[in-house]
């Protein structure tokens, strides 16, 4: 029986993880569920999974939840408590599914404690990929990606040394605006941007999919996860989201991974890769899908893909600024402070102000992150 901690339990990935765990009561038990502010959602998860501990990183929410649970389950409060349960000797698997760089400290606690880390929180790797993977190696943590494209690459790479790999190609659905006139993108609303055609996800990543910042972040994520060179990384548009990634090898063979677009598949794989677990997703029925399409990414429609090339071949500070500025601009767009096309424009402006340097420690990461956020906030109108 493996004891699991879910960081970001109340979110989209957290909820799908709860569903997979619930299907395997003989294999997994919830040690701790970590949420932020959503007390109602956490109450439902507590009923479903009966965790040993609950953490709310928001202090007021922790107090409310504690009153509601009336001593039946211990409730801890604050990010420090999240960090503590994440590194606790009582847990074997940590599902890292908080959103944004805010999830980095708790995820690092799991890495440093040498856990199996089922990693959904891509912003961790974008922000601190070099330090993150170095610590994972040093501490014996096993990092298994939950991000569907990276889970696909992970599967395709099984048993292959790096020298066999020619290219890693991530697929992108193209989001809700794949065929829309680029000149009309200025006026799209947050509601239109979060309406993803194939995936049901949290608000931030849904907007990232619409701007294609999500694929840009994923290329950086892949760079660190698979120790790939920038010229080995590519993305193509595949509107059906059935093929999640492809790996081409030096002999010309290409392995693609396919599954219905449902995050429970990569989550089940990240919880236990061998033997595979039933995940609850719908079976793939190729005759009913009939056709799969692939097309190049148009950098005019998706300027984020042009910017990321510069970030991939540059120093660590560029990736930190890229992520931090995007988090701020994405939130400002969702709060109707800026327009849709301003998001990537602001990321580009913050990048242009960022001096290239590599980082040696997490203090440097946080200071560059704060600097870029400040610049982005000013560009978003304060």
Q: Pick between residue 101 and residue 368 the one whose CB is nearest to Mg ion.
A: 101
Rounded (5°) CA angle 8-13-15: 85
User: What is the contact mask toward ligand NAD in residues 137 to 176, using x (rule: CB under 6 A)?
Assistant: ----------x-----------------------------
Cβ(181)–Cβ(155) under 8 Å? Answer: no
Residue 315 to residues 81, 215, 355, 361: CA-CA distances in angstroms?
Answer: 33, 19, 9, 14
Q: Closest separation between CB of residue 74 and ligand NAD, Å?
A: 19
Q: Is residue 123 at the binding interface for Mg ion, with CB under 5 A as the rule?
A: no
The two tokens of residue 253 are 């063979």
List 77, 120, 222, 329, residue binding ligand NAD (CB under 6 A):
120
Footprint (CB under 6 A) of ligand NAD, residues 240-259: none
Q: Pick between residue 218 and residue 371 the one whose CB is nearest to ligand NAD.
A: 218
Q: Is residue 129 at the binding interface for ligand NAD, with CB under 6 A as the rule?
A: no
Q: Specify the 3-state DSSP secondary structure of 282.
A: coil
List 31, 115, 116, 122, residue binding ligand NAD (CB under 6 A):
122
DSSP codes, 173-221: --GGGTTS-GGGGGG--HHHHH--SS----HHHHHHHHHTHHHHHHHHH
Which range touches ligand NAD (CB under 6 A), out of 5-13, 187-195, 283-291, 312-320? 5-13
Q: Which does 317 bind (CB under 5 to 8 A by kind): Mg ion, ligand NAD, none?
A: none
Cβ(209)–Cβ(199) under 8 Å? Answer: yes
Q: Which residues contact 118 (CB under 8 A, 6 or more apart)?
A: 17, 93, 94, 95, 96, 144, 146, 267, 270, 271
The two tokens of residue 220 are 């950086």
| Backbone phi and psi for residue 53, each to the nearest 5 degrees, phi listed first | -140, 145
Which range touches ligand NAD (CB under 6 A), out of 4-12, 184-192, 219-227, 314-322? 4-12
User: What is the contact mask toward ligand NAD in residues 56 to 75, using x (rule: CB under 6 A)?
Assistant: -x------------------
List 119, 136, 147, 328, residue binding Mg ion (CB under 5 A):
147
Q: Pick between residue 34 and residue 379 the one whose CB is nearest to ligand NAD.
A: 34
Task: Number of residues interacting with ligand NAD: please give it, by CB under 6 A.
Answer: 27
Q: Closest separation between CB of residue 37 and ligand NAD, Å?
A: 6
Footprint (CB under 6 A) of ligand NAD, residues 32-51: 35-36, 38
Specify the DSSP class assigned to residue 5.
E
Cβ(122)–Cβ(221) under 8 Å? Answer: yes
Q: Is residue 123 at the binding interface for ligand NAD, with CB under 6 A as the rule?
A: yes
Q: Pick between residue 245 and residue 248 the one whose CB is nearest to ligand NAD.
A: 245
Q: Closest separation between CB of residue 215 and Mg ion, Å?
A: 8
Q: Which of 115, 96, 123 is nearest to 107 (CA)?
A: 96
Q: Which of 124, 86, 96 is nearest to 365 (CA)?
A: 124
Footprint (CB under 6 A) of ligand NAD, residues 199-218: 199, 201-205
Cβ(23)–Cβ(44) under 8 Å? Answer: no
Cβ(254)–Cβ(265) under 8 Å? Answer: no
The dihedral built from the CA positions of residue 49, 51, 57 and 59, taken in this order, carries a sign that is positive
Q: Contact residues for ligand NAD (CB under 6 A)?
A: 8-14, 35-36, 38, 57, 97-99, 102, 120-123, 147, 199, 201-205, 263
The binding site for Mg ion (CB under 5 A) comprises 147-149
């Amino acid at each position: 029986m493996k004891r699991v901690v879910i960081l970001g339990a109340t979110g989209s990935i957290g909820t799908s993880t709860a569903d997979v765990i619930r299907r395997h009561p003989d294999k997994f038990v919830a040690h701790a569920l970590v949420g932020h502010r959503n007390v109602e959602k956490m109450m439902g998860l507590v009923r479903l999974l009966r965790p040993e501990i609950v953490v709310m990183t928001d202090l007021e929410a922790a107090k409310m939840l504690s009153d509601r649970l009336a001593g039946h389950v211990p409730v801890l409060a604050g990010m420090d408590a999240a960090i503590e349960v994440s590194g606790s000797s009582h847990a074997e698997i940590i599902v890292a599914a908080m959103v944004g760089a805010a999830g980095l400290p708790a995820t690092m606690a799991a890495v440093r404690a040498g856990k199996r880390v089922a990693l959904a929180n891509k912003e961790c790797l974008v922000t601190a990929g070099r330090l993150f993977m170095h610590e994972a190696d040093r501490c014996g943590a096993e990092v298994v990606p939950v991000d569907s494209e990276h889970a696909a690459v992970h599967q395709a790479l099984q048993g292959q040394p790096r020298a066999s790999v020619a290219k890693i190609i991530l697929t992108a659905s193209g989001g809700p605006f794949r065929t829309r006139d680029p000149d009309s993108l200025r006026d799209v609303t947050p509601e239109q941007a979060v309406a993803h055609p194939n995936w049901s996800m949290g608000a931030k990543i849904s907007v990232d999919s619409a701007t294609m910042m999500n694929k840009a972040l994923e290329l950086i994520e892949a760079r660190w996860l698979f120790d790939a060179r920038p010229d080995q990384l590519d993305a193509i548009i595949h509107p059906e989201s059935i093929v999640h990634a492809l790996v081409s090898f030096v002999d010309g063979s290409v392995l693609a991974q396919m599954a219905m677009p449902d995050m429970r598949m990569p989550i089940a794989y990240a919880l236990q890769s061998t033997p595979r677990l039933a995940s609850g997703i719908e079976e793939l029925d190729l005759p009913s899908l009939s056709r799969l399409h692939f097309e190049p990414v148009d950098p005019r429609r998706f300027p984020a893909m042009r910017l990321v090339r510069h970030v991939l071949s540059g120093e660590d500070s560029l990736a930190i600024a890229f992520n931090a500025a995007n988090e701020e601009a994405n939130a400002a767009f969702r709060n109707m402070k800026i327009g849709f096309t301003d998001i990537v424009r602001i990321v580009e402006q913050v990048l242009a102000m960022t001096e290239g340097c590599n980082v040696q420690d997490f203090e440097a990461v946080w200071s560059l992150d704060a600097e870029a956020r400040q610049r982005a906030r000013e560009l978003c109108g304060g």
